[in-house]
Protein backbone atom coordinates (compact mmCIF):
# COMPACT_ATOMS: atom_id res chain seq x y z
CA UNK A 1 0.00 0.00 0.00
CA UNK A 2 1.41 3.39 -1.01
CA UNK A 3 1.33 5.89 1.82
CA UNK A 4 0.67 9.56 1.15
CA UNK A 5 3.64 11.80 2.12
CA UNK A 6 3.19 13.41 5.54
CA UNK A 7 3.90 16.93 4.25
CA UNK A 8 1.12 16.52 1.67
CA UNK A 9 -1.28 15.38 4.40
CA UNK A 10 -0.30 18.39 6.53
CA UNK A 11 -1.03 20.77 3.67
CA UNK A 12 -4.53 19.32 3.39
CA UNK A 13 -5.37 18.85 7.08
CA UNK A 14 -3.12 21.34 8.87
CA UNK A 15 0.29 21.19 10.62
CA UNK A 16 -1.20 19.85 13.86
CA UNK A 17 -1.58 16.38 12.36
CA UNK A 18 2.08 15.38 12.45
CA UNK A 19 4.88 16.57 14.74
CA UNK A 20 7.33 16.87 11.83
CA UNK A 21 5.07 19.54 10.31
CA UNK A 22 5.19 21.68 13.45
CA UNK A 23 8.58 23.12 12.57
CA UNK A 24 9.85 26.44 11.28
CA UNK A 25 11.13 24.70 8.15
CA UNK A 26 7.64 23.48 7.23
CA UNK A 27 6.09 26.89 8.01
CA UNK A 28 8.59 28.71 5.80
CA UNK A 29 8.23 26.22 2.95
CA UNK A 30 4.44 26.55 3.08
CA UNK A 31 4.62 30.34 3.05
CA UNK A 32 6.97 30.24 0.06
CA UNK A 33 4.67 27.80 -1.74
CA UNK A 34 1.64 30.03 -1.15
CA UNK A 35 3.51 33.12 -2.36
CA UNK A 36 4.52 31.44 -5.63
CA UNK A 37 1.23 29.64 -6.19
CA UNK A 38 -1.64 32.00 -5.54
CA UNK A 39 -4.81 30.14 -6.46
CA UNK A 40 -8.38 30.66 -5.43
CA UNK A 41 -9.41 28.15 -2.77
CA UNK A 42 -12.44 26.00 -3.53
CA UNK A 43 -15.52 26.30 -1.36
CA UNK A 44 -15.74 23.34 1.03
CA UNK A 45 -19.16 21.85 1.83
CA UNK A 46 -20.29 21.04 5.37
CA UNK A 47 -19.69 17.37 4.62
CA UNK A 48 -16.21 18.20 3.35
CA UNK A 49 -15.39 20.11 6.55
CA UNK A 50 -16.65 17.24 8.70
CA UNK A 51 -14.57 14.76 6.70
CA UNK A 52 -11.46 16.91 7.14
CA UNK A 53 -11.96 17.12 10.91
CA UNK A 54 -12.47 13.36 11.12
CA UNK A 55 -9.29 12.79 9.11
CA UNK A 56 -7.38 15.18 11.37
CA UNK A 57 -8.21 13.06 14.40
CA UNK A 58 -7.39 9.81 12.60
CA UNK A 59 -4.01 10.94 11.31
CA UNK A 60 -3.07 12.77 14.52
CA UNK A 61 -3.51 9.66 16.66
CA UNK A 62 -2.69 7.08 13.99
CA UNK A 63 -6.10 5.41 14.11
CA UNK A 64 -7.63 3.05 11.61
CA UNK A 65 -11.17 3.83 10.43
CA UNK A 66 -12.55 0.80 12.27
CA UNK A 67 -10.99 2.03 15.54
CA UNK A 68 -12.35 5.50 14.97
CA UNK A 69 -15.89 4.22 14.41
CA UNK A 70 -15.67 2.09 17.57
CA UNK A 71 -14.48 5.02 19.70
CA UNK A 72 -17.24 7.30 18.39
CA UNK A 73 -20.00 4.71 18.94
CA UNK A 74 -18.81 3.96 22.48
CA UNK A 75 -18.68 7.67 23.28
CA UNK A 76 -22.22 8.18 22.03
CA UNK A 77 -23.50 5.21 24.06
CA UNK A 78 -22.27 6.45 27.46
CA UNK A 79 -24.13 9.00 29.61
CA UNK A 80 -21.44 9.94 32.12
CA UNK A 81 -20.17 13.04 30.34
CA UNK A 82 -20.44 14.86 27.01
CA UNK A 83 -19.69 12.78 23.94
CA UNK A 84 -16.89 15.20 22.99
CA UNK A 85 -15.14 14.89 26.36
CA UNK A 86 -15.53 11.11 26.29
CA UNK A 87 -14.06 10.71 22.80
CA UNK A 88 -11.13 12.97 23.67
CA UNK A 89 -10.61 11.06 26.91
CA UNK A 90 -10.58 7.72 25.09
CA UNK A 91 -8.11 8.65 22.36
CA UNK A 92 -5.82 10.56 24.73
CA UNK A 93 -5.80 7.62 27.18
CA UNK A 94 -4.33 5.23 24.61
CA UNK A 95 -1.01 3.85 25.83
CA UNK A 96 0.94 5.02 22.78
CA UNK A 97 -0.38 8.57 23.23
CA UNK A 98 0.46 8.53 26.96
CA UNK A 99 4.04 7.47 26.16
CA UNK A 100 4.22 10.39 23.71
CA UNK A 101 2.66 12.87 26.17
CA UNK A 102 5.15 11.85 28.87
CA UNK A 103 8.00 12.77 26.55
CA UNK A 104 9.35 9.24 26.11
CA UNK A 105 9.04 9.58 22.33
CA UNK A 106 9.25 12.54 19.94
CA UNK A 107 6.24 11.43 17.91
CA UNK A 108 3.18 9.25 18.40
CA UNK A 109 4.43 6.94 15.65
CA UNK A 110 7.66 6.36 17.57
CA UNK A 111 5.71 5.91 20.81
CA UNK A 112 3.57 3.27 19.10
CA UNK A 113 6.74 1.47 17.99
CA UNK A 114 8.23 1.64 21.51
CA UNK A 115 5.09 0.06 22.97
CA UNK A 116 4.85 -2.61 20.26
CA UNK A 117 8.48 -3.66 20.86
CA UNK A 118 7.79 -4.28 24.55
CA UNK A 119 9.76 -1.42 26.12
CA UNK A 120 6.86 -0.16 28.27
CA UNK A 121 5.32 -1.49 31.47
CA UNK A 122 1.97 -0.56 33.05
CA UNK A 123 1.72 -1.21 36.80
CA UNK A 124 4.86 -3.32 36.54
CA UNK A 125 3.62 -5.55 33.72
CA UNK A 126 4.95 -5.40 30.16
CA UNK A 127 2.35 -4.31 27.62
CA UNK A 128 2.83 -4.24 23.85
CA UNK A 129 -0.66 -3.06 22.85
CA UNK A 130 -0.60 0.60 21.70
CA UNK A 131 -4.41 0.91 21.94
CA UNK A 132 -4.51 -0.20 25.60
CA UNK A 133 -6.51 2.33 27.61
CA UNK A 134 -4.89 3.55 30.83
CA UNK A 135 -6.89 4.59 33.90
CA UNK A 136 -6.43 7.05 36.77
CA UNK A 137 -3.78 5.70 39.13
CA UNK A 138 -2.00 3.56 36.54
CA UNK A 139 1.79 3.81 36.54
CA UNK A 140 3.46 3.79 33.11
CA UNK A 141 7.22 3.36 32.84
CA UNK A 142 10.16 2.02 30.89
CA UNK A 143 10.91 -1.67 31.29
CA UNK A 144 14.08 -2.16 33.37
CA UNK A 145 15.73 -4.21 30.61
CA UNK A 146 15.14 -1.34 28.15
CA UNK A 147 16.29 1.68 30.20
CA UNK A 148 19.93 1.42 29.05
CA UNK A 149 19.05 0.96 25.38
CA UNK A 150 20.15 3.69 22.90
CA UNK A 151 16.46 4.34 22.30
CA UNK A 152 16.27 6.16 25.65
CA UNK A 153 19.73 7.74 25.62
CA UNK A 154 19.73 11.35 26.85
CA UNK A 155 16.17 11.03 28.11
CA UNK A 156 16.69 13.33 31.10
CA UNK A 157 17.95 16.11 28.84
CA UNK A 158 15.05 15.64 26.42
CA UNK A 159 12.47 15.77 29.20
CA UNK A 160 13.71 19.16 30.42
CA UNK A 161 12.00 20.88 27.51
CA UNK A 162 8.94 18.64 27.34
CA UNK A 163 5.46 19.96 28.09
CA UNK A 164 3.68 17.21 30.05
CA UNK A 165 -0.10 17.81 30.44
CA UNK A 166 -1.44 18.30 33.96
CA UNK A 167 -3.35 15.00 33.94
CA UNK A 168 0.01 13.19 33.86
CA UNK A 169 3.03 13.22 36.17
CA UNK A 170 6.51 11.85 35.49
CA UNK A 171 9.36 10.90 37.82
CA UNK A 172 12.59 11.20 35.87
CA UNK A 173 14.61 9.22 38.43
CA UNK A 174 12.25 6.24 38.41
CA UNK A 175 11.65 6.62 34.66
CA UNK A 176 7.92 6.26 35.21
CA UNK A 177 4.80 8.39 35.21
CA UNK A 178 1.37 8.25 36.76
CA UNK A 179 -2.09 8.94 35.38
CA UNK A 180 -3.25 11.68 37.76
CA UNK A 181 -6.53 12.66 36.11
CA UNK A 182 -8.64 12.64 32.95
CA UNK A 183 -7.73 14.54 29.76
CA UNK A 184 -10.24 17.25 28.88
CA UNK A 185 -11.24 18.36 25.39
CA UNK A 186 -10.76 21.96 24.35
CA UNK A 187 -7.17 22.39 25.51
CA UNK A 188 -4.85 22.85 22.57
CA UNK A 189 -6.22 20.33 20.08
CA UNK A 190 -6.27 21.33 16.43
CA UNK A 191 -9.51 19.59 15.46
CA UNK A 192 -13.25 20.06 15.95
CA UNK A 193 -14.81 17.05 17.70
CA UNK A 194 -18.32 18.38 17.09
CA UNK A 195 -17.74 18.10 13.34
CA UNK A 196 -16.40 14.57 13.83
CA UNK A 197 -19.65 13.45 15.48
CA UNK A 198 -21.68 15.24 12.80
CA UNK A 199 -19.78 13.25 10.16
CA UNK A 200 -20.57 9.90 11.79
CA UNK A 201 -24.19 10.93 12.47
CA UNK A 202 -25.04 11.41 8.79
130-167 per-position pLDDT tens digit:
999 999 999 999 999 999 999 898 888 888 777 889 99
Query: Coil, helix or strand for 139?
Result: strand
Start-end of H helices in the chain: 6-13, 24-36, 46-61, 65-77, 83-92, 95-101, 108-116, 155-160, 193-200
**pLDDT at position 28, please?**
60
Separation of CA 96 from chain center: 8
What domains lie within the chain, and their CATH numbers? 94-179 (3.10.290.10)
> Mean per-residue pLDDT for 127-131?
96
The rounded distance, in Å, linking the Cα atoms of 140 and 23 is 29
* Whether the predicted model's global pTM rises above the 0.85 cut: no
**pLDDT at position 172, please?**
87
Amino acid sequence: MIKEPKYKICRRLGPGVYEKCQTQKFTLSEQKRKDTKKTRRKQVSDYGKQLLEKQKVRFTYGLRERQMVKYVKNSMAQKETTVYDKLFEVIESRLDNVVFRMGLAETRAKARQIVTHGHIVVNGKKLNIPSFSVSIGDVVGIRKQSIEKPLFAGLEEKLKGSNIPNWLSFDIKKKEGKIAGLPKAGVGESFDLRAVFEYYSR
